Amino acid sequence: MARKGNLMGVRPDIKVLDCTIRDGGLCNNFEFTDEFVRELYKTNVKSGVDYMEFGYKASRNLFDEKDFGKWKFCKEEDIRAIVGENISDMKIAVMADVGRCDFKTDFLPKCESVIDMVRVACYIHQIPAAIEMIEYFHELGYETTCNIMAISQANSNQVEEALAMLAESSVDVIYLVDSYGSLYPENAGDLAKVYLKAVESIDKQIGFHAHNNQNLAFANTIETLSYGVSYLDATALGMGRGAGNCAMELLLGFLKNPKYSLYSLLTFIENYMIPLKEQGVVWGFDLQYMFTGQLNRHPREAMAFTDEKRKDYCEFYKSLLENY
Amino acid sequence: MARKGNLMGVRPDIKVLDCTIRDGGLCNNFEFTDEFVRELYKTNVKSGVDYMEFGYKASRNLFDEKDFGKWKFCKEEDIRAIVGENISDMKIAVMADVGRCDFKTDFLPKCESVIDMVRVACYIHQIPAAIEMIEYFHELGYETTCNIMAISQANSNQVEEALAMLAESSVDVIYLVDSYGSLYPENAGDLAKVYLKAVESIDKQIGFHAHNNQNLAFANTIETLSYGVSYLDATALGMGRGAGNCAMELLLGFLKNPKYSLYSLLTFIENYMIPLKEQGVVWGFDLQYMFTGQLNRHPREAMAFTDEKRKDYCEFYKSLLENY
């Protein structure tokens, strides 16, 4: 499969999705101030970002609202308190996890909601459950995505079967998600080609969501983009679980479409993101995440190492090898 | 040009070169303790690193020895104080800058020196001067490289002419050097193919030296490697001027040849590199370097911004645009 477009041109099919509140919320328990979220919303509109994800629509039966910031639940009125009727060109997204969302009770019909897109996140064995949700959201009138997580641990047959099932569904966008940050650009590119091939004769798009465990989030994003992936997730200053995501400032600096503006984002980063780091919210590339990325493992042990403010990298690495 | 090898295999032509002391020395004025350099030497030997670069052979007429640590000058006796006769499989390299090195007086014949390789660094308009030095070092018995810096600002004709001249010379390795960290992997891969093509019928190798201004140092290194580049520069914890270099720990984690050992390096990082950072030696990816990388500019203004401990990223970005 040849590269689509070149490094100088504009690809009008590209959509940039900001998931700072959703993936970044995993770093601070979704406890962003309204001012922060409102300024990020305004920034994203000014920067030409195409979608902004506000958080999860998590089940209030499974999760106690008292234990989390409001963006774990993304109630309609909370989003509206930020965006009003969202009279902008930017669309609003939320994420719904398979098995952790009361989707039949917690979503309004699209005509009554300010939300435009529901992103359904699942592991590969949950594809049937994901498709049930996707069809439900599609019926309600929403754009939908299916974000298949931890793809570096799925085998090729599983991936092909999942893609065939999704090709038959109403889903609009299928996301390749490198949850463990263990893909190299060559892997990510090869997987992207498989995804793109699965939808080449139908009207569906492919997206990519990176993690920065091996410092490759941006590289993997532009590698998959070069073959035709068009929905690109990024976050301000790369904020996201563990090693974080593809940094929006790197991505906007790369894209040649003049609709994207780096400068508006820089103002937000200086005024809101760097203070967040200074307040002690922790994310970003570090050795412990590199280890789990190299070993193709969930970063949970690396996150615990970070939480405990440990610096004994060698001991930690040995413990990972012992539990291989 | 097809990729050479695959992600699972071993490429016996690959040589890893540690330039922590040389490029990292630009962050601390080459003021490493002997203990640090000795432990790094032992670490590199244990980790399977193929070459260790000790520093520059800078002119003592141009630079006052009192103003720099000893690795700016790499005297024979200083290297021998660390490595003795270097009874290891790892080779010793030094760098000689065109126009900043008294090469006719400061090098012993190879048979009297513990140095194995001299790396001649130049800008593309200095190729004739570089070749004069290369031939001189070749006559003395050294392995030689030519490291053409700032390649992102050279035009294609210049690059082809330089490569044709070097192809006729005695140089062993020609390095593609992304001094400004402004190449994307696709650019780096395309340039690598041009370099590889220039030497495909002769016995010369191609090397790559990355900078991390856009967080792409590792990605660019493995991209060029995938097409046949075989000499790979890296440094412990990515230490190097400004945004730093390709991190050795990422590279060793990627390479599948069992001769390379990540664990030995981790011990050194924990005991020596992290303390260096804690002592206030500064390097690594940050927004100011991203700006100069995106703008394909020398990082000198970003380095000054860093030295002044400034955090007004927006003002800095505007000043770069004003002086575009």
Taking an 8 Å cut-off on Cβ atoms, the answer to whether A214 and B250 are in contact is yes
Q: How far apart are alpha carbons A8 and B158 in whole angstroms?
A: 21
Taking an 8 Å cut-off on Cβ atoms, the answer to whether B254 and A218 are in contact is no
Q: Does B7 touch chain A (CB under 8 A)?
A: yes
Task: Kindly list the structural domains of chain B, giving each domain's residue range(s) and its CATH number in brackets, ordered by start.
Answer: 15-278 (3.20.20.70), 287-322 (no CATH)
Contact assessment for residue B247 and residue B241, using Cβ atoms and an 8 Å cutoff? no
Q: Does B313 touch chain A (CB under 8 A)?
A: yes
The interface pTM score, or ipTM, of the predicted complex is: 0.96
In a mutagenesis test of the A interface, which of B218, B320, B322 is the best target, namely the one with the most A β-carbons within 10 Å? Answer: B218
Task: Name the average pLDDT for chain B.
Answer: 97
Q: How far apart are alpha carbons B47 and B40 in whole angstroms?
A: 10
Mean pLDDT of B259-271: 96
In a mutagenesis test of the B interface, which of A214, A226, A273 is the best target, namely the one with the most B β-carbons within 10 Å? Answer: A214
Taking an 8 Å cut-off on Cβ atoms, the answer to whether A185 and B219 are in contact is yes
Contact assessment for residue B73 and residue B101, using Cβ atoms and an 8 Å cutoff? no
Bridge partners, residue A143, by sequence? A117
Please name the member of A184, A214, A219 whose beta carbon is closest to the beta carbon of B7: A184
Closest by CA position to A146, among listed A102, A202, A205: A205
pLDDT of residue A278: 96
* Shortest CA gap A237–chain B (Å): 9
Closest by CA position to B317, among listed B305, B284, A49: B305
* Shortest CA gap A246–chain B (Å): 10
Taking an 8 Å cut-off on Cβ atoms, the answer to whether B215 and A218 are in contact is yes
Q: Does A296 touch chain B (CB under 8 A)?
A: no
Please name the member of B186, B294, B313 whose beta carbon is closest to the beta carbon of A253: B294
Q: How far apart are alpha carbons A270 and A275 in whole angstroms?
A: 8
Q: What is the pLDDT of residues B116-130, one digit of tens each?
A: 999 999 999 999 999
Residue of A nearest to B227 (CA): A186
pLDDT of residue A75: 98
* Residue type at position A128: P
pLDDT band per the 50, 70, 90 thresholds, residue B166 = very high
pLDDT of residue B323: 82
Residues of chain A with pLDDT under 70: none
Contacts of B1 (CB under 8 A, 6+ apart): B193, B196, B197, B227, B228
* Shortest CA gap B254–chain A (Å): 8
Q: How far apart are alpha carbons A60 and A73 in whole angstroms?
A: 8
* Residue type at position A247: A
- Please give the angle made by the CA atoms of A199, A204 and A206, to the nearest 5 degrees: 80
* Shortest CA gap B277–chain A (Å): 13
Q: Does A9 touch chain B (CB under 8 A)?
A: no
Contacts of A237 (CB under 8 A, 6+ apart): A244, A247, A248, A249, A269, A273, A274, A277
Please name the member of B187, B220, B262 whose beta carbon is closest to the beta carbon of A7: B187
Q: Does B253 touch chain A (CB under 8 A)?
A: yes
Q: Does A184 touch chain B (CB under 8 A)?
A: yes
Taking an 8 Å cut-off on Cβ atoms, the answer to whether A311 and B222 are in contact is no
* Shortest CA gap B30–chain A (Å): 25
Residue of B nearest to A286 (CA): B237
Contact assessment for residue A48 and residue A259, using Cβ atoms and an 8 Å cutoff? yes
Q: What is the pLDDT of residues B18-49, one digit of tens each?
A: 999 999 999 999 999 999 999 999 999 999 99
pLDDT of residue A198: 98
Please name the member of A250, A274, A312 whose beta carbon is closest to the beta carbon of B290: A250
Residue pairs between chains A and B whose CB atoms are closer than 8 Å: 91
Contacts of B44 (CB under 8 A, 6+ apart): B18, B52, B90
pLDDT of residue B35: 98
pLDDT of residue B143: 98
Q: What is the pLDDT of residues B102-155, one digit of tens each?
A: 999 999 999 999 999 999 999 999 999 999 999 999 999 999 999 999 999 999
Contacts of A51 (CB under 8 A, 6+ apart): A15, A16, A17, A18, A90, A91, A92, A93, A116, A117
pLDDT of residue B281: 98
pLDDT of residue A255: 97
Answer whether residue B199 shows pLDDT above 80: yes
* Shortest CA gap A145–chain B (Å): 28
pLDDT of residue B324: 72
